[in-house]
Amino acid sequence: MTVTNIQTRRMNVYVTRQIPEPGISMLKAHFGVDVRQAKTPISKPELLEHVGDVDGLLCLLTDPVDAEVIAAGNNLVCISNYAVGFNNIDVRAATERNILVTNTPGVLTDTTADFAFALLLAAARRIVEADAFARASKFNGWDPMLMLGQDVHGKTLGIVGFGKIGQALARRARGFDMRILYYSRTKASDEDEAALAATFTPLERIFAESDFISLHVPLTEQTRHLISHDQLRMMKPTAILVNTSRGPVVDEQALAEALRDGTIAAAGLDVFEDEPEVNPLLASLPNVVLAPHIASASHRTRSLMAKIAAENLIDALAGRRPRFPVNPEALTE
Ligand code: NAP
Ligand code: GLV
Ligand code: GLV
């Protein structure tokens, strides 16, 4: 019997930020692990400094893993993103060097859709404004005219990007008896459309007919500023826009002006064009609910994301196909 020990060197991974357990323990069982302890996103110079001699990188959606960073990763086998979105990574540059990129789809779908619906309800029923009002001791008694908002039940919801999260939002909207229109790059199957009671609709009609519009596309060159002045002008003055996708899908200045001028009624935003900056005009308006990119932030989901991100890296560094490759073509020799 021949025993071959192909792994002579212990592999090393760099983790750009503390992530929930069990992620770090899982990695430590296999690799030398360096976890960056700072509580702010890593800068590009710091990434360049650390990527040079590691076999694996576990990074966040805040981390600019561009072509230069990837080129500096001399031993890099896999970049495991702790997110489903991967617009922070130059996937093409990684593929050119046969470096695998992985992400964490699926486990965060329902948690993110819950939050999109929470933003929709909060913006429609003015919950954040009402909370501030009640805390400020301004509640002087029940008032027939106090804080009137928009009904959600029975209204039309336009979903842009009908993938996992967009479809999960549709399931929630059915419980509110909403009419569901959707637009996506690929039309859903007849069975999925029937099960979700959702109708494939051109974008212009979604803008014109929807009471609520919720964005669930990835950020790509095709979706950058998908919503700008022209699209906002097509919407109803009572329309409410929800964005839990990526900030740059919306022209934020155009949105802020539309909210200020009454072009549309309100918005609920989890993501911003230049995170962590929030457009000052947006932040000054009462008719927008703001959240600091927390749509997937439940204890359970963030822990599951950590597990999957660690598993992806462990599999890739062992030469196995990970569960969630973004660029499986990088696997072919
Ligand atoms: P997904 O299952 O891949 O769904 C994305 C959908 O968008 C797909 O149906 C895709 O079409 C469609 N699409 C892509 N490009 C398009 C275009 N140019 N025009 C119209 N539709 C287009 O992804 P997901 O898991 O639902 O996640 C969606 C996005 O949400 C992620 O990329 C991420 O940026 C964001 N996100 C944010 C948070 C948060 O914390 N706020 C949490 C999770 C996810 P195909 O079917 O043709 O590919
Ligand atoms: C969060 O924004 C994600 O893409 O997972
Ligand atoms: C409101 O509280 C009502 O009873 O109608």
> What is the pLDDT of the chain when averaged over all its residues?
97
pLDDT at 42: 98
Domain ranges of the chain: 12-106+298-330, 109-290
Instruction: Kindly state if the Cβ of 169 falls inside 6 Å of ligand 1.
Output: no
Supply the DSSP symbol for 249: G
Task: Please pick, among 246, 273, 302, 311, the residue that the annotation labels catalytic.
Answer: 246
Q: How far apart are CA 85 and CA 246, in angstroms?
A: 9
What is the number of other CB atoms lying within 10 angstroms of the CB of residue 110?
A: 18
CB burial string 229-251: b at 16+ within 10 A, e below: eebbebbbeebbbbbbbbbbbbb
Q: Is the pLDDT of residue 177 over 80?
A: yes
Instruction: List 290's β-bridge partners, or say none.
Output: 269
Instruction: Give the pLDDT mean for 161-175.
Output: 98
Task: Measure 103 CA to ligand 2 centroid, in angstroms.
Answer: 9
Residue 225 annotated to the active site: no
Note the pLDDT tens digit of each residue in 267-296. 999 999 999 999 999 999 999 999 999 999
pLDDT at site 67: 98
Give the model's pLDDT for residue 9: 83
Q: Which residue(s) pair with 180 in the sheet?
A: 157, 198
Q: Is 92 in the pocket of ligand 1 (CB under 6 A)?
A: no
CB atoms within 10 A of CB 270: 24
What CATH superfamily classification does 109-290 receive? Answer: NAD(P)-binding Rossmann-like Domain (3.40.50.720)
pLDDT at 142 over 60: yes
Q: What does the block give as tokens for 253?
A: 């200045």
- For residue 25, the surrounding DSSP H or E stretch is helix 23-28
> Which H or E element spans position 59?
strand 56-59
| CA 253–ligand 2 middle distance (angstroms) | 23
**22 vs 25: CA distance, rounded Å:** 6
Average pLDDT, stretch 249-266? 98
**From the candidates 97, 172, 174, 293, which is the catalytic residue?**
293
Class of domain 12-106+298-330: alpha beta
- Nearest-angstrom CA–CA distance, 14 and 59: 8
Helix (H) or strand (E) holding 243: strand 240-243
Residues 6+ apart with CB under 8 A from 51: 14, 57, 69, 70, 72, 73, 76
Q: What is the pLDDT of residues 208-244, one digit of tens each?
A: 999 999 999 999 999 999 999 999 999 999 999 999 9
